[in-house]
Amino acid sequence: MLGLCPALEVKSLEVKSLEVKSLEVKSLEVKIMKLNYSFIILFGLLLPSLIYGQNQERIIFTAYQNFDSRLYVMEMDGTVLDYFEYANYRLQDFVVIDNEVYVTDAFIPCVYKVDISNGELDLVMHDTWLFYFYGLAWDGTYFYVDEWDMNRYDIEGNKDGMAFFDEDVMGSEFANGYYWMINDDNLIKCWDFSAWPDLAEMPDLHFAPPSFQCRGLWFDGEYFWSAESIEGNTGQIYRFGFDGQVVEQWTAPAFQGWGACKVEVAVGIHNPEKTNFALSCSPNPARSEITIAFTRLILFLECYYFERVYIFAKKNRYGTK
């Protein structure tokens, strides 16, 4: 196939922009000064490495209305990429373990691991003795959920005892070695769990969240995250420090929000069933300098883009006006 390509020469190959949306390359511009086989080889090597090397951050957000929940996947500017809907669930607070998202359900006392590429929920823990789960925290060994008392479970969902804890925990998280929880009275409280099951309150570290409506709690290693839960109105997603000062915020895509967290997504490793992409060349490819713009380029498909490159090269060989 490549033998049909004309003898051309690569002078420069410059990737001007690479934007990935929903695990698809939305636009990729390659600026070329003339072409030859080495372009084919270089392009074949360069493109997968660019794409497989890309990790992008995503905001994950939960909201509920009546008996339905949604889990949103958003870009870091707040643009909604996708959402998944769950009837008769009330998904609430997150933890992230090894870049995997875990979420509580307040309708049935369960913790699920979420596949954010398709929204599938994998049941990790279900405690039939309890009624509701809101806040979810992970200390590196155990999940902690509060329902009447503080309960903890290992990663397999096996219960490992309980401790007296007389608080209403809307969201919770471990940060800097301590357990932090947000209640519905505009306070984030800090506790030392190191002497479990004797839990020691650390009142000097308590602080107010950004608003009365904040519910979930997640910690990204530097700052806390929470989303507002406002009936009939979209609230804000906040990223804030240990003093409650907001460093970033986004308008939530739906009400009533609850949990918000961030994960990294490796792009170009999903959706192999989508195989179509468009190729456009401008200006006329017979010219010495052209721009090739791919839209909807789907990965895993070396044979496809080699074929397209072949078509392009053939077109260039004979020229079009």
Which residues of this chain interact with Ca ion, rule CB under 5 A?
Answer: 93, 136, 173, 217-218
Rounded to the nearest whole angstrom, what is the least distance from the CB of residue 144 to Ca ion in the complex? 9
Rounded to the nearest whole angstrom, what is the least distance from the CB of residue 165 to Ca ion in the complex? 15
* Contact in structure between 183 and 167 (CB atoms under 8 Å): yes
Rounded to the nearest whole angstrom, what is the least distance from the CB of residue 229 to Ca ion in the complex? 14
Q: Which is nearer to Ca ion, 260 or 299 (CB)?
A: 260
Separation CA 45–CA 310 (nearest Å)? 15
Q: Which is nearer to Ca ion, 43 or 94 (CB)?
A: 94
Rounded to the nearest whole angstrom, what is the least distance from the CB of residue 28 to Ca ion in the complex? 37
Rounded to the nearest whole angstrom, what is the least distance from the CB of residue 67 to Ca ion in the complex? 23
Q: Which is nearer to Ca ion, 24 or 173 (CB)?
A: 173
Q: Which is nearer to Ca ion, 92 or 316 (CB)?
A: 92
Rounded to the nearest whole angstrom, what is the least distance from the CB of residue 117 to Ca ion in the complex? 21
Q: Which is nearer to Ca ion, 258 or 312 (CB)?
A: 258
Rounded to the nearest whole angstrom, what is the least distance from the CB of residue 290 to Ca ion in the complex? 51
Q: Which is nearer to Ca ion, 59 or 217 (CB)?
A: 217
Three-state SS sequence of the chain = CHHHCCCCCCCCEEEEEEEEECCEEEEEEEEEECCCHHHHHHHHHHHHHHHHCCEEEEEEEEEEECCEEEEEEECCCCCEEEEEEEECCCEEEEEEECCEEEEEECCCCEEEEEECCCCEEEEEEECCCCCCCCCCEECCCCEEEEECEEEEECCCCCEEEEECCCCCCCEEEEECCEEEEECCCCCEEEEECCCCCCCEECHHHCECCCCCCECCCEECCCCEEEEECCCCCCCEEEEECCCCCEEEEEECCCCCEEEEEEEEEECCCCCCCCCCCEEEEECCCCCCEEEEEEECECCCCHHHHHHHHHHHHHHHHHCCC
Q: Which is nearer to Ca ion, 165 or 218 (CB)?
A: 218
